[in-house]
Structure 1
Amino acid sequence: MKHSRQLVFICTGSDCKKAGSKLIKKDLKIASKQNPWKGCCKLIQTKCLDMCKSAPVAIVEDHFLKKTSTEKILDQMKKALKDQG
């Protein structure tokens, strides 16, 4: 059974950019082209999510990730994949 792709929203508002969201987006873009993430996720760049004090912010499926990192996002994506399976 084919699974739908996970949606990963990455805030690129000014505070999130200062906190490293641009680098996180770049790292996730690279990771999304490699196994096991290839074809499993869709990265979506957003404008400000109005959670500036918690920058950088991302959303994976229905989970908000505050003060996040590439590793935290990949961990949440892994959990979401297990929940789908």
Structure 2
Amino acid sequence: MKHVRKLVFICTGSDCKKAGAKKLSKDLKGLTDEGDLKGSCKFIKTKCMDMCKTAPNVIVGDYFCKKTSAPKVLDQLKKS
């Protein structure tokens, strides 16, 4: 049986940190530790993505989430 994990890239550049990327990362890990998404997501912290005006930024699969929040990222995870 093949185990497929969804990759979630979280920008940790200075502007994204100021906009709440650290809290966003913590919230997402907490929300995906239970329910349908348990064990199916891999969170990767990245350096600056050069999209600082739209911080915090997250990439879910092929989708780029700008000015995002934990619920928006969860919705995108469920779609992909």
- TM-score when scaled to structure 1? 0.89
Overall identity of the aligned pairs, in % = 64
| RMSD across aligned positions (CA) | 1.1
Paired position in structure 2 for 1:56: 56
Give the CA deviation at 1:11: 0.3
Choose 3-12 or 57-66, whichever is displaced more.
3-12
Give the CA deviation at 1:2: 4.6
Q: Distance in 2 between matches of 1:11 and 1:18?
A: 11
Q: Distance in 2 between matches of 1:24 and 1:59?
A: 13
1:44 to 2:47 alignment: no
Paired position in structure 2 for 1:16: 16
Change (3 A) 1:75 1:67: same
1:34 to 2:34 alignment: yes
Deviations 1:27-84 (A, max 9, x none): 011112111111111011111111001100000000000000001000000101xxxx
Paired position in structure 2 for 1:72: 72
Structure 2: which 5+ residue stretches go unaligned? none
Give the CA deviation at 1:15: 0.2
Q: Distance in 2 between matches of 1:7 and 1:57?
A: 14
- TM-score when scaled to structure 2? 0.94
